[in-house]
Chains A and B, each alone.
Chain A
Amino acid sequence: MLLLITCFGILPKLQAQSDLQISKVFDQYGERRGAVMVELTNEMLNGYEFSLFKSITISNNSAASEFIRKYLERDEVGAKKVKQVVTNGVLTSIYLQLPRKGQFYRLILFNETFKPESKITLIYIESKNDSEDVLKLILKKK
């Protein structure tokens, strides 16, 4: 019975981003002061349907930005870089299209701003729709 509960109930939850290093960022900083973490499943945002939307925004925490960059670097392996901004040798923005996992297209979006305050935003997206369309739809809203 316990085995069944594990198989049916818990494992599907673990599938989401378990293979990614950035999951450690959510675990490490998600519930801390100065951070805003969001998780939405099967939801429409900006007219687009996400299977999973997970984001974290951390303010004024240089250690966190180093932590994120370290794990982003590992998740870059095998991913396509749609956009990358490096300022003074430091990665400040990157959009990564990850290899599809089953029926899901996956994206990682990262951005760091310094004005008016230092703010890091990391987003992980899973969708059944093409990730290029996700990018266009999300970002043209600005």
Chain B
Amino acid sequence: MRFKIKHNLTADQADKLIEKYYEGFTTVEEERQLKAFLAQTGLPERFKAEQAIFGYFETKQSKPLFNLRSYIRWVGAIAAMFIIGFGIQTFTMYTSSDYAYVDGVKITNKSKIKTQALASLSNVAADNNEVEQSLENLNDNELMKQQLEVFSGLSK
């Protein structure tokens, strides 16, 4: 008759399983049950040796929660990526992206680009007084709007 494994082993059942374990006949499930049994505290003295054996395997098989070397490696990799990213950003910000297209032909000569830029500014330029007057009007309009709002509040 086959020995039936229960979830909670008794000490006698554990003895039989340990014997079976040493003979090399235990199944994976039985070993799991045995480990669970031996992981308990307050077991009789006779289980100390098996607890040590299974405890040894337990610690060897389980992964450490914190591995400094791998942590440093990850931090290093992330830092390197950020440095590269920051470098790219700085490069794209400060390297010259200045250009001009004249009839579809690209120009990168700085002085020629500036000449074209100044020419376009000259095209939109108006008389200075006209602009100043417009700016003043803009401010006057805002003042009038504020005053109208005050009066509309009084009339309510």
Contact = CB atoms under 8 A, between A and B. Distances in A.
Given A4-B81, A30-B101, A139-B128, A38 B116 contact: yes
Interface in A29-62: 30-43, 45-46, 53, 55-57
A48 to B, nearest CB: 10
21 contacts: A4-B84, A8-B89, A10-B92, A12-B89, A32-B103, A33-B103, A35-B104, A36-B103, A39-B100, A40-B113, A43-B117, A56-B120, A57-B123, A80-B138, A82-B138, A110-B124, A111-B124, A113-B123, A119-B123, A135-B131, A136-B128
- Main SS of chain B's interface residues? helix
Nearest to A40: B98
Interface in B117-152: 117-128, 130-132, 134-135, 138
Contacts of A13: 92, 97
Contact-size category for A: 35 or more
Mostly, the A contact residues are strand
Contacts of A9: 85, 88-89, 91-92
A110 B123 CA distance: 9
Interface of B: 81-82, 84-86, 88-89, 91-94, 96-104, 113-114, 116-128, 130-132, 134-135, 138
A141 B125 CA distance: 8
A83 B130 contact: yes
Contacts of A119: 123
Contacts of A83: 126, 130-131, 134
B120 A55 contact: yes
A115 interface: no
Interface in A78-95: 80-83, 93, 95
